[in-house]
Every structure is written in C-alpha cells, then in structure tokens.
Structure 1
Amino acid sequence: MHLPSELRAFIRASLVDRVQGRREKSPTQVRRRRIVVTITLLLGAAGLGAALDVAPGEPLFYVASLGVAAIWTIGAFASGPLSRGRSWTREGEPGGRAVVQGLILGGSLLAVFLLGAMVVGQVDFLRGPVDDLLEHAHFGNIAIVAAVTAISGIGEELFFRGAVFAAMPRRWEIIGSALIYTLSTVLSGVPLLSFAALCLGLLTGAQRRVTGGVLGPIVSHLTWSLGMLFLLPSALSIGDLLW
C-alpha cells in the first residue's frame, strides 16, 4: 500500500468529489429555509450565551444546553427536508454512509487540536475562558455532560450543515455556513471555541458538499467534540509540564 496515494485518494473521496449532483431548489424553498434559519439563529445564539452563563455544576446548565440543541433541531427540520447523504466506498461506488470517513476526519481534527492545546494553553488570555468552559465538565456528572455534548453536536450539524448549508448560495455553501456557525458561538466569550467552530465548520461543510447529507458531518462532529471533552484536560496538563 502506497500511503501518500492512499491519503490523496481518501481526501478526494471524503472532501472533494461529490457523490451526487446538487439538487436544484425552488425560490419558495430557498426563501422558507432562509426565514426559518434566521429566526432559529437568533434564538439559538441567545440560548447558547445564556447556557454558558450558568454556574458550573448547576443542573440548569444541562437543561439550557438541551434547550439550545432542541432549537437547532426543530429549526433544521422546520426549514425543509434533510438527507443522510451518501459517500464513496473503497470500491469507488456511491453507496457508503460516510461513517468511517467521519471517524477518520473527526479524529484527525481532534489530534491537531490536542497538539495545539499543549501550546496555546500556555497563553493566559486564551487559557482562562477554556478553563471556565471545562469547569462544567469537572463539576458535573461526566456521563451527563457527554450525553449533552453528543445531543448538542447532532443538533448543530442538523441545523448548520443541514438547514443553513441548504439555504446558502452555491458558492458560499461551505464558507458561509462555517462563518455563521462561528458567529453563533461568539456570545460564549471563548475565542478558542469560535476558532474551533470555524475549523470544524469548514471540515464538515466539505463533507456535506461531497455526501449531500448530514450523517458524515454528525460523525465527525461527535468524534471531535467527545474526544475534546475527555482528552483536552490531559492535553493541557501535558502542555503545562512541557512548557
């Protein structure tokens, strides 16, 4: 097996070559999506900011976070139909479901962020907000936090890579949906969270474009977000020891 060629083939199959052509949407469908997306964004961004203002360990944090996930999910389905999508198989057939691709892509992004955290974690004005965010996991039940993280990730992908992506003009599908996703996190007050949203949004947006659906992006998002939940504290501690 020739690794560079295998890697190039994987990148093309998972992030570049569309499995199916873009379905044309009527002006009425586009208008409906954009109206629903706008309303949902305003509600969801406000809800996210409120959730992160809750003191660590408070049960209200879980309720608020699930409320935000519900807003994203309801908005996604209210905007119009969503598809799971299809991916290329190793045999070159368009019958896959992008689960393995999502695991690999999400895991790769996770590895990059964990390595970066070892360095960036030494910058005080960036580290402080991250520590505040992690306190919700430290003071809460980790199983509940993981479940809320997973549900939130699914809701975000249904909305941002489902509804928002479909509402964008063709040339702005990936970049536009990623930027809007990033802006929705600004109220959190955590610069690295917004940066992570941009990177994750670009990756999953490319998957959405290739597969035509949300399943691959959901798998990538869950792999990255759950990995960060469990491994980021250790990466920061290793960084403290190294630097």
Structure 2
Amino acid sequence: MSRRAALDRLLPKPLSYVVVADAVETPAARRRRRRAVAATAVTGAGLLGASLSTPPGSRGFYLSTAAVAGVWTAGGLASGPLHLGWIESRDATLRRPLLTPVATGVAAFGLFYGAALVARRVPVLGDAVARVLRFADEGDDRLVLATTLANGVGEEVFFRGALYAALGPRHPVATSTAVYALATTTTRNPALVLAAGAMGTLFGLQRRASGGLQAPVLTHAVWSALMLRFLPPLFRRPASPAAADTDPHAR
C-alpha cells in the first residue's frame, strides 16, 4: 500500500462532508418524534436552569442534574430510532467513530483552555466561568464527573439525536445549535451559553458528517472530562487572610 493510499484510509472526510440523509420517516413517525422533542425541550431546559440554582455539592444538585440527564436521554430515545453513525475515510472505508472524535475532544479542550486564559481577564466572563466551576470545586469529584458525563451523553441523544432528526434537511446544524444555546439560557450564565453555541456547532457538524450519535457523544465526553480536570484551578480564588485566620486547617 502506497503512502497516499494509507493516508486516505486513515484520514476521515472533513467536517464539511454531508452524509447520505437518514431514512425517510412516515408522517406519523415524524409527528411522534416532534411531539417528544417539544415536550423534552421544555422540560429539560426548565430542569437545567433549576439544577444550577442549587447549592454546589448539595444533594439537590446531584438529584437535579441526574434528572436533567434522564430527561434528555429518555426524551431522545422515546422520539424514535437513533443511529450511531460511521466515519467515512477519504478512500470511502467506513468504520465506527472512535479515534477521530476522541482527538477532536482533546483539540476542543485545548482551544477552550486558551479561551479560558483570556476569559480570566474579562470580569463578566471570568465570574460566569467561576460560578460554574464552583460545582466542581465544592462537590464530590466522582459524583460531579458522573453527572457531567451523563448530561453530556443525554444532551447528544436529544439535541444531535432526536432534535436533529426531527428537523429534517432544513439547516439542522444551525437550528439544533440555536435550540441548544436557547435551552442553556435558563442557567442565566453567559459562559455556558457561549460554550453551547461553539460546541453545539462542532457536535452538529460531527452529526452531519457521520450520520449518527457516536462521534458527538465521544467528543462531548472527552471535552467535558478534560474541562473538569484542568479548568477549576485557573479560576480558583486564593483564600483571603481573614478566612485563613479563622480556618483551623489553614494553620
């Protein structure tokens, strides 16, 4: 095998690639999917806003975030059949998405880490990011990771699964991203809304290029795990001298 042929077999087609459209659904199946999508979007967005209004590390936080993940996942699955998708190489070889979406998640984290270094210097964004990261700093690491990953999977099942399929061929990437960002506005956190817009676009392009959920799910999971691991120290505020004087553990 020549070097060029080996590269064509290894490298995926670009994100601008559009996979062959999903199978055409019957009008009844399409109506059922759209009803499930509408009900899930309203319920999930409301619960999402409520979950970030609970105290970090509290039982209410873990229960509410688990409920949000459950709503996204159950609503997405109830809407109708969903597909895992395929990565098509440049030589037309098909394989399940694995290495490419993992690498994409790492690259996305690198870009966000660089953006976070800038956001620290912008008071509005820095404070917004710090408010979100309090849930990681003040919570149980294992529970925060579990609920974060569950929500990442649930969001992909719903937004890049059920919602994307319900939209049909009419600008599904842009529309699903807009709905994703709109749902995030219930948190009243501008940093989360901006992240939803940026990452929603990436996840939507992955969905369009692969025809299924596996690529955006893996990218979302890798990106989320790295954000939880490396971003909190950037926004951790040093304890004040007064707090150190009253904290017996600081001595």
TM-score by length of structure 2 reads 0.86
* Length, aligned pairs only: 231
Secondary structure, aligned partner of 1:13:
coil
Deviation, structure 1 residue 46: 0.6
Deviation, structure 1 residue 14: 4.8
Q: Distance in 2 between matches of 1:93 and 1:223?
A: 25
Deviation, structure 1 residue 214: 0.4
Residue in 1 that maps onto 2:207: 208
Deviation, structure 1 residue 217: 0.6
Secondary structure, aligned partner of 1:56:
coil
> Which letter does structure 1 place at the counterpart of 2:56?
P
The one-character-per-residue Cα deviations of 1:120-176 (angstroms, maximum 9, x if unpaired) are 121111111221111111111111111111111001100000000001131321111
Residue in 2 that maps onto 1:107: 106
Instruction: Using the aligned pairs only, state the percent identity.
Output: 35
Contact 1:19–1:86 (Cα < 8 Å) also in 2: no
Task: Find the structure with the greater CA-based Rg.
Answer: 2
Q: Distance in 1 between matches of 2:39 and 2:117?
A: 38
Contact 1:118–1:236 (Cα < 8 Å) also in 2: no
Structure 1 or 2: larger helix share?
1
Q: Distance in 1 between matches of 2:82 and 2:65?
A: 23
Q: Distance in 2 between matches of 1:107 and 1:53?
A: 30
> Which letter does structure 2 place at the counterpart of 1:217?
P
TM-score by length of structure 1 reads 0.88
Q: Distance in 1 between matches of 2:62 and 2:72?
A: 15
Residue in 1 that maps onto 2:196: 197
The one-character-per-residue Cα deviations of 1:47-96 (angstroms, maximum 9, x if unpaired) are 001100001121210110000000001100111011111112475412x1
Could you say if the C-alpha distance between residues 21 and 172 of structure 1 is closer, same or farther in structure 2, counting changes exceeding 3 Å?
A: closer
Q: Distance in 1 between matches of 2:129 and 2:176?
A: 24
Residue in 2 that maps onto 1:158: 157
Unaligned residue ranges in structure 2 (runs of 5+):
237-251
Contact 1:161–1:205 (Cα < 8 Å) also in 2: yes
Q: Distance in 2 between matches of 1:104 and 1:72?
A: 25
RMSD over aligned Cα, in angstroms? Answer: 2.1
Deviation, structure 1 residue 230: 1.0
> Which letter does structure 2 place at the counterpart of 1:210?
A
